[in-house]
Structure 1
Amino acid sequence: MIRRPAPDAFAVVMATGILSIAAQNHHYRWLSQALGVLATATMAVLMVVAAGAIRRWDLHDPDVTLRLFTFVAACAVLDSRLVAHPVVVRILGVVALSAWLALAILTGRNMASRGLIALRANAHGAWELAGVGTSGLAIVAAQVARHTGDRGWAVVALAIWLLAIVIYVVMTWLILWRTADERKDREGFEPDDWILMGALAIATLAGHTIYGVTADWLAGPVRAVTVVTWALASGWIPPLVYFVLHRVNRRPAVLQFTGAWWALVFPLGMYSVATAAMATELHSPACATVSLVFFWNALTAWVIVAVAGLMRARAVSRSALRRRGGTEQ
């Protein structure tokens, strides 16, 4: 992954950063700090590696530019985690906005150059990353409004949040259309399908953040939409769990490590954070308990995926060394 990163390589930062926030919500301070440092360090390394790899990515392919929205989301997650450091927050906010604008233009061009049928044929869970990144940007704008007291930023955050929801609806329509057209069976599960839930979870967190800074007359509608996005995110969980267990039971080989499994960890952590926000908003101890359960599920998944990734990297390194040794002989 380090030598030839995928466009969505920043998903590991998203997953680690959101777990750091979830740990902080549940008062595991030392764990939150450790994960926060790890997410920040990983972000720095990946930015350097990605700068050298960008020439190898086909930026005319919508699948590439859509997956690159993980960078925007990673900036937004770290921005939320490092909110106590104003300078870092401003820098990450500017970087996230600049990257979002560039990717929005490229993705719009790429999607417009393809027919609707072609888009439907290639749509998959990772395309929801555009909505994830946009919701992340809405959170950043809402935080700026909170710290500056400027209601103008609250309006910007609200507009971006609504755009994120529209993007989610469009991408979900394409994915479900493809599923219906291909009559995708229950073995069609991929790890990135969980972003269907994760995109709604981060929209919920964005709505919760905006609710705290928006004008009084808008607070009610914002809260209502936030509750709906959380309920829809919750509704995705049972079918997603069923599909993954069914496929694993039929084909255990699908558990083989790929970078796509980080796309499962992030939605679990994001749902924990979003549900903690709902627990505060609805004064619901039950939601707080659900949030804690999902935090530990997400952390367990994070450990499994991280260990599997390290083992895979070690095996690849050994294989490369053996090939090099054979060549020299």
Structure 2
Amino acid sequence: MLKKSIQTLPSASFALVMATGIIATASQLQGFTFVSTVLFWLNNLFFFVLLLLFIARLALFFPTVTAELRLHEKGTGFLTIIASSCILGTEYAQAKSAYGIATMFWVFAGVLWVVLVYTFLAGTILKRQKPSPETGMNGSWLLLIVCTQSVSILGGVLSSHTLLQTDAVLCISLLAFLLGVMLYFMLIAIDLYRLLFFPMKPEEAVPSYWINMGAAAITALSGITLSKGIQGHAVFGDLYSFVKAMSIMFWAMGSFWIPVILIMDIWRYAAKKWPLKYEAAFWSLVFPLGMYTVCSWRMEEVLPLPFLQSIAKVFIYIAWAAWLVTFIGMCVQLAKQVFNPSVSNEN
């Protein structure tokens, strides 16, 4: 049974770590120290258990993993490993001041970014049979932005607290931010084309479309984090106003997506009676809620308007509720797999 569970481990499993980590950060920012501490240590457990399972899957089922990495529908799920490493590293840097550990997470994530992103792109570009945007495109493609901006954020946090060359770390973070901005513009256009010009079936209105909002929010947070490092910098200081403007624009873009995706969810579960049951993709819904909470709280650093943190004070409760419901659903699913081995993992 364990071997079967390893074989069918969802590609986006590390979204659990992403969601837990960002909500821990949101809790810390708003002074909920106990909640933040509990989620931080839980997140360490989640990360290392999932990492062991992923390594086991890679060793035992290498052809399956590489084949899945080349799939338009699922390949981007592996990029959650990159984002989760950076989010956990950011937790170590900001909550524990453990900059050495955070630097190791950043380097690990950077290596994974090169390997996974280019392997995915090469696999999808070069394969002969390809799906149409109708079946091959969904919100999980925006994980290309999420993983890139997570590298930028952790680099921005570490730029003045690492043994690595400060300007080099800041430069990599700035380049990652700019790349993430361009990727968002390109991919969101394709995503909108799919949504607007192809029929939507209930099974296709998946929770991963929430990443449309999450990718915008993490881009805004990346800009906010980076702006603190480049302000007044001899080389990058001229870009401060641009980065600040991009942060505001992407926060607005993230806010725009919330009603759109809510309408899709209401249509799927209420109008079309799609069964509401746990699937691993629900962590892709929880993460954007936590990211929007953190982004709104930090936005006041570049746009000093008190109502922004008021928004975050509301969203923290929504994010907690979403995390708790999804976590309970995951535990129930795991219990069913233990007592009824015929139940398989949801991808």
TM-score w.r.t. the length of structure 2 is 0.87
Q: Which residue matches 1:244?
A: 265
1:22 aligns with 2:32: no
Give the corresponding residue for 1:283.
304
- Residue pairs, 1:1-329, within 5 angstroms: 3=6, 4-54=8-58, 55=62, 56-57=64-65, 58=67, 59-83=69-93, 84-114=97-127, 118=131, 120-121=133-134, 122-148=136-162, 150-184=166-200, 188-214=204-230, 215=233, 216-320=237-341
Over the aligned positions, Cα root-mean-square deviation in angstroms equals 2.2
Residue 18 of structure 2: SS of its match in structure 1? helix
Mapped to 2, the partners of 1:61 and 1:244 lie a distance apart of: 25
Bigger drift between 266-275 and 313-322 goes to: 313-322
Given that residues 83 and 150 in structure 2 are in contact (C-alpha distance below 8 angstroms), is that contact kept between their aligned partners in structure 1?
yes
C-alpha deviation, 1:185, in angstroms: 6.4
The 3 A distance-change label for structure 1 pair 321 and 262 is closer
Cα distance in 1 between the residues matched to 2:253 and 2:167: 29
Instruction: Label 1:2 to 1:32 Cα distance change in 2 as closer, same or farther (>3 A).
Output: farther
The amino acid across from 1:134 in the alignment is T
Offset of residue 130 of structure 1: 1.1
Instruction: Provide the rounded CA distance (Å) in 2 between the counterparts of 1:65 and 1:253.
Output: 25
- The percent identity for this pair of structures is 25
The letter of the residue matching 2:23 is: L
Deviations 1:139-167 (A, max 9, x none): 12212223258233222211111111222
Mapped to 1, the partners of 2:99 and 2:25 lie a distance apart of 17
The runs of 5 or more residues in structure 1 that have no matched partner are 323-329
Verify the 8 A CA contact 2:202 2:274 in the aligned structure 1.
no
Number of residue pairs matched by the alignment: 322
Paired amino acid for 1:38 = L
Q: Structure 1 residue runs of 4+, over 6 Å off? A: none
SS in 2 for 1:283: coil
User: Relative to structure 1, is the Cα distance of residues 267 and 321 closer, same or farther in structure 2, using a 3 angstrom cutoff?
Assistant: closer
Q: Give the aligned partner of residue 327 of structure 1.
A: none
Q: Distance in 1 between matches of 2:221 and 2:187?
A: 20
Q: How far does the alpha carbon of each residue in 1:73-126 deviate from its partner, in whole angstroms, 9 at most, with x for none?
A: 001111111101122111101110010010122022123215797362401111
Letter of the aligned partner of 1:89 in structure 2? A
Moved more, 312-321 or 5-14: 312-321
The answer to whether the 8 Å contact 1:65/1:103 transfers is no
- 1:29-87 alpha-carbon deviations (Å, 9 max, x no partner): 01000000001110000000001112231233344442111000001111111101122
Residue type of the partner of 1:317?
V
CA 1:43–1:187: 2 relative to 1, 3 Å? closer
Query: Gaps spanning 5+ residues in structure 2: where?
Result: none
Preserved CA contact (<8 Å) 2:72 2:137: no
Of 71-80 and 136-145, more deviation after overlay is shown by: 136-145
Give the counterpart letter for 2:82 in structure 1: V
